[in-house]
Amino acid sequence: MPERLSARETLALVTDDFTFTELPVSGSDVPPDGPLGWQGYDASRARAAERTGEQESVVCGTGRVEGTRAVLIAFEFGFLGGSLGVRTGDRLEAAYAYAREHRLPVVPLVATGGSRMQEGMLALTQLQRVARQSALTREAGLAQIAVLRDPTTGGGWATLGAGADVTLALPGAQVGFAGSRVRPADADPAAYTAEAQFAAGAVDAVVPPGELREVLGRWLRLLTCPSDAPAPVPAPLGAPDLPATGWEAVSRARSPQRPRAVAYLDAYFTHRLPLSGDRCGGTDPGMLCGFGEREGRTIAYAAQDGTATRPAGYRTAIRLIRLADRLGIPVLTLVDTPGAANDAEAERQGVGAAIADLFLTVAAARTPVTTLLIGEGGSGGALALASPGNTWATPDSYFSVIAPELAAAILKRPETEIEATAEQLLLRPQDVVALGVIRPTSPSTFRDNRVD
């Protein structure tokens, strides 16, 4: 079991020295033994207060994390298991309202067993109250970054934790909707950990305590830096000359020596932090998403890495673009895929619906989206990530309605005609520029190689 720090120890861990200021406390009057008249409830609260020095299960205030001011909500697990009651809801609501009034991001430092049984349904309905505050904060364009401590279970996980824009977790923390005492007897405890939730796409990163302040501070800086200007187009890193034939374009794009997404991201950003997972139980290592800094600006990125994109990859890109849109951060997308995954499992996971949702997300985005085609542009699985009217291409790329091999198969042509089919598809970058579908990264070069 990882070390369980108190609420104030956790605040000291993540905030800059002497910057945390607790918010004023006000809340509902509580009748004797609570709203249910639960015998012994007052005594339990008194013992919890004496043991922890706190009057409720959360401590709320403002502080700086690596220089960025935020509203912090720290749960005190020693106070009745960090459970949520009516007065907890009062404090949470006040903290979120303060964040909106002062335009500050919100950082829940979660350690809770769930809703407080001694307050019955009134305790459970605090989840609706918290969800409302979170929704209002989203509408205000303010970031929410959760840190999952041990344990994070029940409604606290299902609202403040899983509902955050970015979710970080401490190693070994117990994380799951079901707490340890209410799971099936044969449940695998390893499935209820921060590491398991990361593998399932529900947590963005597992961060050691000694690195938490730095990582949290970097996230806060990145997500509090909106910009109206589009992301600059990355410089091409591969071959400078254009392909002479359609098949040469395909061969270049498929070459193992061609620069891939990681090379472009490393050259483009000073530093970057990844988002991981689609929040639906899936991850796709072939879709790289996150936020990075370039020349003092924050830019979000969604980059295909040359493999067939899985449904989870499309959903992760959707999550990234929607978050950037809410926060007013421009987006860069890098297109490089032979196409969407088309195996039976991809169909069962809803690949068609995921692609449709990505098309709609890109089309509806108010923040500027810039796209660079850096390799293979295979059909709708590639086009879904491309910005209409602001897509560019490198010389070692191609964009096609379908792969030449598949086109030949559909047309019942022999393999000897695949190269000729590639020529007919007009898939070279200069061909697609001439068709008006994309813009070139090097206008003079593309002008000198126009299609007749």
> What is the pLDDT at residue 441?
61
Does the reported pTM lie above 0.75? yes
Cβ neighbors of 383 (< 8 A, separation 6 or more) are: 359, 377, 399
Rounded distance between C-alpha atoms, residue 162 and residue 430, angstroms: 45
Q: Closest Cα to residue 335, out of 287, 296, 280, 401?
A: 287
Using alpha carbons, list the distances in angstroms from residue 171 to 2, 48, 116, 160, 200: 7, 27, 26, 19, 15
β-pairing, 166-169 vs 205-206, is parallel
CB-neighbour burial class of residue 188 (10 A; exposed 0-12, middle 13-18, buried 19+)? exposed
> What is the pLDDT at residue 452?
35
> What is the pLDDT at residue 178?
73
pLDDT tens profile 109-163: 999 999 999 999 999 999 999 999 999 999 999 999 999 999 999 889 999 999 9
DSSP state of 245: S
CA angle 181, 182, 184 (to 5 degrees): 110
Q: What is the DSSP string of 282-331?
A: ---TTEEEEEEEETTEEEEEEEE-SSPBPHHHHHHHHHHHHHHHHHT--E
Using alpha carbons, list the distances in angstroms from residue 390 to 326, 332, 383, 443, 449: 20, 10, 12, 14, 20
> What is the pLDDT at residue 392?
95
Q: Closest Cα to residue 337, out of 313, 316, 359, 309?
A: 309
CB-neighbour burial class of residue 51 (10 A; exposed 0-12, middle 13-18, buried 19+)? exposed
DSSP state of 193: B
Rounded distance between C-alpha atoms, residue 203 and residue 199, angstroms: 8
Q: Is 328 left (phi over 0), alpha (psi -120 to 50) or beta?
A: left
If one counts every other C-beta atom within 10 angstroms of the C-beta of residue 241, the result is: 10
CB-neighbour burial class of residue 24 (10 A; exposed 0-12, middle 13-18, buried 19+)? exposed
Rounded distance between C-alpha atoms, residue 80 and residue 78, angstroms: 6
Q: To the nearest 10°, the Cα dihedral for 236, 239, 242, 246?
A: -110
- For the chain, residues with pLDDT lower than 50 are 443-444, 447-452
> What is the pLDDT at residue 1?
64
How many residues make up the chain in this entry?
Answer: 452
> What is the pLDDT at residue 439?
84
Judge contact between 332 and 291, C-beta under 8 A: no
> What is the pLDDT at residue 446?
55
